[in-house]
């Protein structure tokens, strides 16, 4: 019954649930499990001792073989070919005088005892000390019966074996003692090995857990450094050589640059700022909040490229998993660009929330452009994912030549975004390094009521022809200066570095009002 309860857990699909639950509770309690093993060991050990006791009692109450019967039978067995020398009827009569079931061999009980000792030694639920105690106790009890209580039976067996040199009872007792000592040593060795194996398994499990944790940390680090599709390329491609380069060209990508132009005035390496550490901690909180927006489902197609100081760079259309047809509509092909604009607006809202909590007045100056780019990973020891191309350069110029608090785009980008309901206000021609004069626009917002696309030419077709006009763009900076001295210094620096914008006569006043 105890064995059935113990193993019922292994047959959970074949036995009732109640019986399986009882088996689980039984195996989970160490004391109950050990007690059941001891009861089983004592039961099989004492069962053989009880047989020996009744065996002795039976011999003392009934004389199994008389001396004359034994001598007659023994003499008959010593004569070779007795069946041929004597009449068959006489031989059968002599054998019938001593029934075979009355010729007993007590040494078999000692052999059974050895098997019982082996069974006790292999019980896994017991410690080696408990096994040794049970083995020695049962072996000693068997030896006591052999030497002191069953000497007559062993003498009869010795007579049948033609008087061996050493009495059978001593041989059987010696066998029990040797088996008990050997099994005691084996039990100690098995217990030691089990403990060592358990320790090894524990260490292996801990090492596996540590290795898995380290692997997850490494993967998290790689996925933080590289975009998901690039990280999967490096993590899954185990046969890749370290000299192999990764690069990919994309035809339709949106690029965003967002900077805080007044952060440089906020940063100061003074004692009150812990040598600038508090300023960097604040910048880290801002960038972390920006990164948190990328975890939102609606911005899953946008990836962060890098940060340069207080400038945040992102791109859309790089990690798209969907396959678009060549004849797909513009609104379908450039839907990620609209998502990038929504992301830029969310950046403004996030920074506004930070300003309210920290009592600061930081603003974002952003520029967006679209077009083809080339992306890749550079660096052997510190790999860095970056994008290159004319699209990236123009997006950077849109940010640098824009005004604080506004999102500046090119005319081509404006035409596409208008089809998604965004409204723009023309800024005019802006001198862009390497590109000459570009017509740019400031994003005003998104019109939910008007979903029809509005061509960008309608915004400036009534404007007169452009003539070069130089503007003082210090009004564009709108820097929150803490002291008059810093304000004067910033104005002098801005006046020296300000680009010259060429606008039409009819748009000068309008542009100045926009910049203010």
Q: What's domain 249-462's superfamily in CATH?
A: Nucleotide cyclase, GGDEF domain (3.30.70.1230)
Token readout for 434 is: 């390497």
Catalytic residue among 433, 435, 482, 489: 433
Total residues found in the chain within this entry: 516
Contacts of 414 (CB under 8 A, 6+ apart): 424, 441, 456
Please report the DSSP string for 6-34 in residue order: HHGGGGTTTS-HHHHHHHHHHHH-HHHHH
| Residue 39, CB-side half-sphere exposure with 13 Å CA sphere | 9
Cα–Cα distances (Å) from 480 to 194, 265, 474, in that order, read: 73, 8, 13
Q: What are phi and psi of 205, to 5 degrees?
A: -65, -40
Q: Check if 95 is active-site.
A: no
Strands 407-410 and 422-432, by their bridges, are unpaired
| Global confidence as pTM | 0.55
Structure tokens at 222: 């790689």
Identify each DSSP E strand in 217-364 by its residue range. Answer: 246-259, 302-308, 311-316
Alpha-helical regions (H) of 226-276:
228-236, 263-266
Q: By C-alpha distance, which of 235, 256, 254, 255 is closest to 246?
A: 235
Please report, in tens digits, the pLDDT of each residue of the chain (516 residues total): 766 777 777 777 787 887 788 888 877 788 888 888 888 888 888 888 888 888 777 666 654 444 444 444 444 444 444 444 445 554 454 445 444 444 467 888 889 999 999 999 988 888 889 999 999 999 999 999 888 888 878 887 777 766 678 888 899 999 999 999 999 999 999 999 989 999 999 999 999 999 999 989 988 888 888 888 888 887 776 666 666 778 888 888 999 999 998 887 776 666 666 666 878 888 888 899 999 999 998 998 899 999 988 899 999 988 756 667 667 788 888 999 999 999 999 999 999 998 888 888 889 999 999 999 999 888 777 788 899 999 999 999 999 999 998 999 999 999 999 999 999 999 999 998 888 899 999 999 887 654 444 443 333 333 333 333 333 333 333 333 333 333 333 444 443 444 333 333 333 333 333 333
Residue ranges covered by each domain of the chain = 2-64+104-206, 249-462
Cβ(456)–Cβ(411) below 8 Å:
yes
Instruction: Answer for the pair 504, 426: CB distance below 8 angstroms, yes or no.
Output: no
Per 3-state DSSP, the chain is made up of helix, strand and coil in percentages (nearest 5) of 60, 15, 25
DSSP 3-state of 175: helix
| CA 374 – CA 229 distance, rounded (Å) | 15
- Locate tokens 């050895």: which residue? 114
Has 397 been annotated as catalytic?
yes
């Amino acid at each position: 019954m105890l064995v059935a309860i113990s193993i019922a857990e292994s047959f959970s699909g074949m036995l009732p649930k109640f019986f399986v639950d009882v088996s689980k509770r039984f195996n989970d309690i160490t004391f109950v499990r050990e007690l059941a093993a001891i009861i089983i060991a004592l039961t099989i050990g004492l069962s053989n001792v009880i047989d020996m006791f009744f065996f002795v009692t039976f011999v003392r109450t009934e004389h199994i073989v008389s001396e004359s019967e034994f001598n007659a039978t023994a003499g008959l067995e010593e004569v070779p070919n007795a069946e041929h020398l004597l009449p068959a009827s006489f031989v059968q009569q002599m054998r019938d005088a001593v029934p075979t079931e009355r010729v007993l061999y007590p040494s078999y009980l000692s052999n059974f005892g050895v098997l019982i000792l082996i069974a006790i030694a292999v019980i896994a639920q017991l410690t080696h000390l408990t096994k040794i105690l049970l083995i020695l106790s049962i072996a000693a009890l068997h030896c006591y019966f052999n030497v002191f209580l069953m000497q007559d039976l062993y003498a009869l067996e010795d007579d049948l074996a033609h008087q061996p040199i050493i009495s059978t009872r001593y041989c059987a007792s010696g066998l029990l003692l040797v088996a008990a000592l050997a099994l005691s040593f084996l039990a100690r060795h098995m217990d030691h090995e089990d403990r060592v194996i358990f320790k090894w398994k524990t260490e292996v499990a801990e090492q596996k857990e540590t290795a898995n944790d380290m692997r997850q940390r490494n993967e998290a680090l790689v996925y933080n450094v590289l975009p998901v599709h690039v990280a999967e390329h490096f993590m899954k491609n185990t046969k890749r050589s370290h000299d192999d380069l990764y690069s990919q060209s994309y035809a339709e990508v949106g690029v965003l640059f967002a900077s805080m132009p007044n952060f440089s005035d906020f940063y100061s390496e003074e004692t009150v700022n812990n040598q600038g550490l508090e300023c960097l901690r604040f910048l880290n909180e801002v960038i972390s909040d920006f990164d948190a927006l990328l975890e939102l489902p609606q911005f899953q197609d946008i990836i962060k490229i890098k940060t340069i100081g207080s400038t945040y760079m992102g791109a859309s259309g790089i990690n798209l998993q969907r396959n678009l047809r060549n004849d797909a509509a513009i609104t379908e092909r450039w839907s990620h660009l609209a998502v990038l604009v929504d992301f830029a607006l969310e950046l403004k809202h996030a920074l506004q929330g930070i300003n309210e909590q920290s009592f600061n007045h930081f603003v974002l100056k952003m520029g967006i452009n679209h077009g083809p780019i080339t992306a890749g990973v550079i660096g052997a020891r510190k790999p860095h994912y970056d994008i290159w191309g004319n699209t990236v350069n123009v997006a950077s110029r849109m940010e640098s030549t824009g005004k604080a608090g506004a999102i500046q785009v090119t005319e081509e980008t404006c035409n596409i975004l208008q089809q998604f309901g965004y409204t723009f206000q023309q800024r005019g021609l802006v001198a862009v390094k390497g590109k000459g004069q570009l017509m740019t626009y400031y994003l005003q917002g998104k019109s939910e009521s008007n979903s029809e696309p509005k061509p960008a030419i309608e915004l400036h077709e009534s404007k007169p022809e452009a003539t070069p006009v130089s503007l003082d763009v210090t009004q564009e900076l709108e820097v929150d200066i803490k002291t008059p001295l810093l304000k004067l210094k910033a104005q002098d620096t801005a006046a020296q570095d300000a680009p010259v914008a060429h606008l039409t006569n009819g748009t000068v006043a309008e542009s100045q009002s926009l910049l203010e």
